[in-house]
Chain A
Amino acid sequence: MQDHVVRFVDLAVGATVAVAVPVVGVARTVAPGAARAGRRLAYPPLVPARLAPGAVAQQLVLRGRWTRLRAQEALVRTARAAVPVVVERVLDEIDLTRLVLNRVDLAEVVVAALDELDLTAVVTQRVDLGQVVTTALDQLDLTEVVLDRVDLHRVVVQVLDGLDLTALVRDRVDLDALANQVIEDVDLPEIIRDSSSGVAADLVVEARTGAATADEVVARAVDRVLVWRRRREGRP
């Protein structure tokens, strides 16, 4: 089959060559004379140059070119005006999302895009991070979130484990000043006065009750000895 086609082609080429070679030979022989003859015909002698067929043809060429360029411009203008309308129509017709989802390997696109981008730099340059964070914080009840999500007990324990509190207090707290402040705030002399007057009062009460008890003991002893007194008092 292929052989037949090739053979046909070869036949056509052979026939063409057979016709063309003598034609080309004749043309070569005739051409210089024909060109000279053409030039004579375009600008014949005795005809004014302005009315010669060559000049007329030249003018026609110029006019044709001018018309063509005008038409071309108009066409471009029209086409430009039509583009948005056409695109809108097309987009109306097409469900672009579905199209993209069906036809595009989105994962690959995203991966490629991310590979190309320095995302950190983009975010840092393009995003007003302060405002984003402020807005987010405004919308969050941070206390509630922390209370819900954070094991505060563990955090505090961890922190306290990591700290040498005694050393910290010794380093950071002006213990002398603190002690002086406390001593100033506490009215130490008043406390000492109170406690010492309390001690004195206790001593007096002790002495009085002790003496009263001794009084009672003596009275009983006397009662035991003095029978008449016991009778008079009505005591056994």
Chain B
Amino acid sequence: MSTPTHPHPVGPGADLQGKPAGIVTRTIAGGIDYVLVGFWAAGVYVGVAALSFLYNPVGWSWPRWSFGVVLILGAVSMVTYLTATWATSGKTLGGQVMGSRVVRDGGRVHLLRAFVRALVVVAFPIGLFWSAIDTRSRSVQDLVTGTAVLYAWRTDIGHR
């Protein structure tokens, strides 16, 4: 991994491209994704409230969702979102911002593998921190699904 194989090693951080992304980058990217899904869940809640207002304006009040419902909504949204982004570009929105990409053997992750990885991430988010200890910066989900997260600020890295 010490010699860059990509053809345009220019600009800041050019020597990092294609190397395993570190814990800080991945944590920030994940944080952005969590915030995004949080907004999405809030949007769903407001949408449902608006629909219920249209259905029954007189007796309307804010919908009361139990913690479990919210948790399941968030988890389903998260798994869907992560699966879709990893299986297509390999970059979630957080990954887009921080320039990190999820790959399998240096290429695109299969849909099923992406789904499994998303399940592991949602069920065991703290597994991310294993990447600080692992010699190749692999988190628990990476170890389970055989994937890796690389610095990929340029679009051609890990995209084949």
Q: Tell me the A residues contacting B by CB distance below 8 Å.
A: 204-205, 207-209, 211-212, 214-216, 218-219, 222, 226, 229, 232-233
As a 0/1 sequence over residues 15 to 44 of chain B, the CB contacts with chain A under 8 angstroms (1 = contact) are 010000111110010000000000000000
Is B98 within 8 A of A211, CB to CB?
Answer: yes
A215:B99 contact, CB within 8 angstroms:
no
Encoded as 1 (CB less than 8 Å from any A CB) or 0, chain B from 114 to 154 comes to 00000000000000000011010100000000000001010
The answer to whether B25 touches A211 (Cβ under 8 A) is yes
Tell me if B28 and A211 are in contact (CB < 8 A). Answer: yes
Contacts of B137 in A (CB 8 A): 219
Whether the Cβ atoms of B22 and A216 lie closer than 8 Å is yes
Are A219 and B98 interface neighbours, CB within 8 A?
A: no
Q: How far is the CA of A211 from the CA of B21 in the complex (A)?
A: 9
Residues of B within 8 A of A211 (CB): 22, 24-25, 28, 98
Contact of A215 among B25, B97, B135 (CB under 8 A): B25
B63 to chain A, nearest CB (A): 37
Query: What are 18 A-B contacts defined by CB distance under 8 Å?
Result: A204-B97, A204-B99, A207-B97, A208-B13, A208-B25, A209-B13, A211-B24, A211-B28, A211-B98, A212-B16, A214-B22, A215-B21, A215-B25, A218-B22, A218-B23, A218-B24, A218-B132, A232-B135
A212–B22 touching, CB < 8 Å: yes
Q: Which residue of B lies closest to A211 (CB)?
A: B25
B25 & A209 in contact (Cβ 8 Å cutoff): no
The smallest C-beta distance from A229 to any residue of chain B, in angstroms, reads 6
CB distance from A42 to the nearest CB of B (A): 152
* Contact residues in B for A208 (Cβ distance below 8 Å): 13, 25, 98-99, 151, 153
A-facing residues in B62-114 (Cβ within 8 Å): 97-99
Q: Does B12 contact A (CB under 8 A)?
A: yes
Q: Which residue of B lies closest to A204 (CB)?
A: B97
A219 to B13, CA, bound (A): 17
When C-beta atoms are compared, the residue in chain B nearest to A214 turns out to be B24
Chain B hits for A207, CB < 8 A? 28, 97-98
Neighbouring B residues of A233 by C-beta, 8 Å? 135
Q: How far is the CB of A212 from chain B (nearest CB, A)?
A: 6
Measured in the bound complex, the distance between the Cα atoms of B22 and A209 in whole Å is: 12
B12-A205 in contact (CB<8A): yes
Q: Is the CB of B133 within 8 A of A226?
A: yes
